[in-house]
Chain A
Amino acid sequence: MDIHEYQAKELLNKHGIKTLKSILCFKPEEVYNAYKTLSSSVAAVKAQVHAGGRGKGGGVKIAKSADEAKSIAEKMIGMNLVTAQTGKEGKLVKKVLVEEGASIIKEFYLSLTVDRKNAAIAFVLSAEGGMEIEEVSKNHPEKILTVSVNPLYGLKSYHILEMSLFLGIDKNLFGGFSKLINLLYGAFIAEDMSMLEINPLILTGADEFIPLDAKIILDDNADFRHPNFKDLIDEDEEEPLEVKAKSVGLNYIKLDGNVGCMVNGAGLAMATMDTIKEFGAAPANFLDVGGTADAKRVETAFNILLSDKNVKGIFINIFGGIVKCDMVAEGVVSAAKNIGLKLPVVVRLEGTNADGAAKIIENSGMNFVSAESLADGAKKISKIVNG
């Protein structure tokens, strides 16, 4: 799960990593007061949204007075911030972080990620701080250093030495740099992060290394041992339908098309979306109903799909492994009758008792069509929604 910059910095502070003084504000008046409280000659006003590239989109501004900070906030709070990562619809800014200024000597890029290939924790560093790392990696791969740490042996001083030599960090600053790297590594593991990105990491005039920005993604799978994770969720940042689906235990992701999809299994759900596209229509969503596709669950899923007003038809693709297809078919029909479903539905059921299932679908008296295969179903639903 994604969290905000201010939350990321709080997590870092908890592990002894210093960040600049800052105050979270929801109203322009609060920003005015925050500027006064910080008593810094300059302050940054930073939009708190779950998206990178805020600077370019106008989501980070520098103020030199409390009045200026307030007037920036008046424009920023309530604006729809569009960045390279938000999509064209943008993200509504509801809160800003007001942060004190600092004298910046140098900027670096630093991140920790899970290195899937080597099953390690990887540090990625560059002396090109503040830049988009994807661009640096594409155009100047030699300007990026990756150091993978084997979790069995842990982070060692020679790893940090390699990093500091690559970044050209002065020998007398090694102690401070080393301390920061150790704390970051510890925080990454202790908080079950799957990504920690600091861009930029600054070296200040006081010879301190300080994360000026911080982006953290937490591993949802570890929420059972982090009671604080649920407090870090900001539902304003999520797609409302996805929040609703999650609350009823469904794995749903909203997309832009008009074919609602209901599938069991994540891989098959993706493959179903792809096949719909191949036959000329576009999927409205990803939805994995899971192994127990009973009437109640199917009904819940129908309700989620129908909340998306773009949906013009529904494709149900279930591979009945352990569950029997005729039982799934009965569940689908009764759920559809229960909610008075009007939209056309193509149903493909494969597995145990698939033939019986097809008969139940065809004889349901509903606007149902049965399909023989994934491709057949995708073709049929595409034809229906495309008229």
Chain B
Amino acid sequence: MSILVNKNTNVLVQGITGKEGSFHAQKCIEYGTKVVAGVTPFKGKTLFNDSVPVYNTIKEAKKEHKIDATMVFVPAGFAAAGVIEAIESEIPLIVCITEGIPVIDMLNVKAALNCSKSFMIGPNCPGIITADECKIGIMPGFIHKKGRVGVLSRSGTLTYEAVNQLTKAGFGETTCIGIGGDPIIGSPFISFLKMFEQDLETDAVVMIGEIGGTAEEEASEYVKNHMKKPVIGFVAGKTAPAGKRMGHAGAIISGGKGTASDKLKTMEKNGIHIADNPSVIAETVKKALSI
């Protein structure tokens, strides 16, 4: 078991012929992901890597294929439109990798998403992977191993850091999701915590947050009130100065709000097991699971 994606997930790639899109589509296929089709405007009726059919629009692709999920690599200026196209085409899962989408565009996407049948991960994220089954994203596949811990994160390489430890320590992972580093994202931590709580193979969840916003605080309230499984938390940015965007558009302390120490305080109060630095994430999982 896993959440959201597995070996039977049929995946579409939006922007499959672009530099990033083609590189990572190929890596996903190598990992075992069922990439059934791609979309790039004006590249319809061609084949990607001699095997995956490319269409001009999602509408065209849907006529020929059953699509469960789409991986969006459309450039930032057009990405919101690409996601809305996927929403209107009723694609159940939208994974948007693109970084740099204007906030105003994401507000519209989010409003459209709220009254749709789609579920969205990202943008500005590494994607989602169910170990040994399906990778929809840009994370290195080899560090993942099927196991018992779910991973959620607002970051990229920091997630790999956690996954690598979990794999090496023998816990392995069920599903890992980068939820995105932007101020407005498709789905918050809570949406996934709910799924992990119900997933039979997930025994614990690692949640990696960072400065900016209040998503960690809200998630920790949810953990306290609705979860039996242990949640292990880390928050990056204790030393980040106020008012500066730390790489990710959403990682900013504004008006004194969104500091790491506020987040950690609330998380700890709500029963989340805190890892003081990223090197002790696996160790903290071990302790939490042995309680």
What is A's interface to B at a CB cutoff of 8 Å?
85, 114, 116-117, 119-121, 133-134, 150-152, 189, 192, 194-195, 219-222, 224-225, 251, 253, 255, 263-271, 273-278, 282-283, 286, 288, 319-322, 350-352, 373-376, 378
Cβ A267 vs Cβ B103 within 8 A: no
Which B-chain residue is minimally distant from A113 (CB atoms)? Answer: B254
Complex CA–CA separation, A116 to B157 (angstroms): 24
CB distance from A233 to the nearest CB of B (A): 15
Query: Looking across the interface, which residue of chain B has its beta carbon closest to that of A188?
Result: B104
User: Is B157 within 8 A of A319, CB to CB?
Assistant: yes
The residues of A that contact B239 with a CB separation of less than 8 Å are: 255, 270, 273-274, 276-277, 282-283
Q: Does B4 reach chain A (CB closer than 8 Å)? A: no
Question: Is A151 a contact of B108 with CB atoms below 8 Å?
Answer: yes
How far is it, in angstroms, between the C-alpha of A219 and the C-alpha of B153 when the chains are bound? Answer: 23
Chain B residue at minimal CB-CB distance from A120: B107
Give the residue of B102, B142, B208 whose beta carbon is less than 8 angstroms from that of A222. Answer: B102
When distances are taken between beta carbons in the complex, the residues of chain A under 8 Å from B164 are 319, 350-351
Tell me which residues from 127 to 143 in chain B have a Cβ below 8 Å from any Cβ of chain A: 138-140, 142-143
- The reply to whether B157 and A255 form a contact with Cβ atoms under 8 Å apart is no
* CB-based contact B160/A251 at 8 Å: no
Chain A nearest CB, measured from B153 CB (Å): 7
Q: Which of B101-158 contact A (CB under 8 A)?
A: 101-104, 106-108, 110-112, 114-115, 138-140, 142-143, 153-158
A121 to B213: give the CA distance in the assembly, Å: 15
Check A255 against B107 for contact (C-beta < 8 Å).
no
Q: Which residues of B contact A (CB under 8 A)?
A: 27, 76-77, 100-104, 106-108, 110-112, 114-115, 138-140, 142-143, 153-161, 164, 181, 183-184, 208, 210-215, 218, 234, 236-241, 243-244, 246-251, 254-256, 260, 276-280
Q: Contact between B249 and A253 (Cβ–Cβ < 8 Å)? A: no
- Which residues of A sit under 8 angstroms from B156, Cβ to Cβ? 265-268
Closest residue to B158 on the A side, CB-wise? Answer: A267
Q: Report whether A150 and B111 are in contact in the complex, using a CB–CB cutoff of 8 Å.
A: yes
* Closest CB in chain B relative to A275 CB, distance in Å: 5
Contact A221 B100 (CB under 8 A): yes
Q: Can you name the residue of chain B whose Cβ is closest to the Cβ of A269?
A: B247
**In the complex, which of the residues A116, A120, A133, A225 has the most CB atoms of chain B within 10 Å of its own CB atom?**
A116
Alpha-carbon gap, A21 to B250, bound state (A): 36
> A225 to B101, alpha carbons, bound, how many Å?
12
- How far apart are the CA atoms of A271 and B155 in the complex, in Å? 11
User: Could you tell me if B236 and A274 are in contact, using CB atoms closer than 8 angstroms?
Assistant: yes
| Chain B positions within 8 Å of A224 at CB level | 76-77
26 cross-chain CB contacts under 8 A: A114-B183, A150-B111, A151-B107, A152-B111, A194-B103, A219-B102, A221-B76, A221-B102, A225-B77, A251-B247, A253-B241, A253-B246, A255-B241, A265-B157, A266-B248, A267-B236, A270-B210, A270-B236, A271-B161, A278-B276, A278-B277, A286-B246, A319-B161, A321-B138, A352-B142, A374-B279
Q: Is the CB of A253 within 8 A of B155?
A: no
Given contacts A253-B244, A266-B247, could you give 11 more A-B pairs where the C-beta distance is less than 8 Å? A114-B183, A119-B110, A253-B246, A265-B158, A267-B157, A267-B210, A269-B246, A274-B277, A286-B247, A320-B140, A374-B278
A318 → chain B, closest Cβ, in Å? 8
Smallest beta-carbon distance A325→chain B, Å: 11
Contact A275 B278 (CB under 8 A): yes
Residue on B nearest A251 in the bound complex, by CB: B247
The interface residues of chain B lying within 8 Å CB-to-CB of A322 are 27, 138, 140
Contact, CB under 8 Å: B276 / A267: no
Q: A121: which B residues are within 8 A, CB to CB?
A: 107
**Chain A, Cβ-Cβ closest to B250:** A116
Measured between beta carbons, the chain B residues less than 8 angstroms from A119 are: 106-107, 110-111, 184
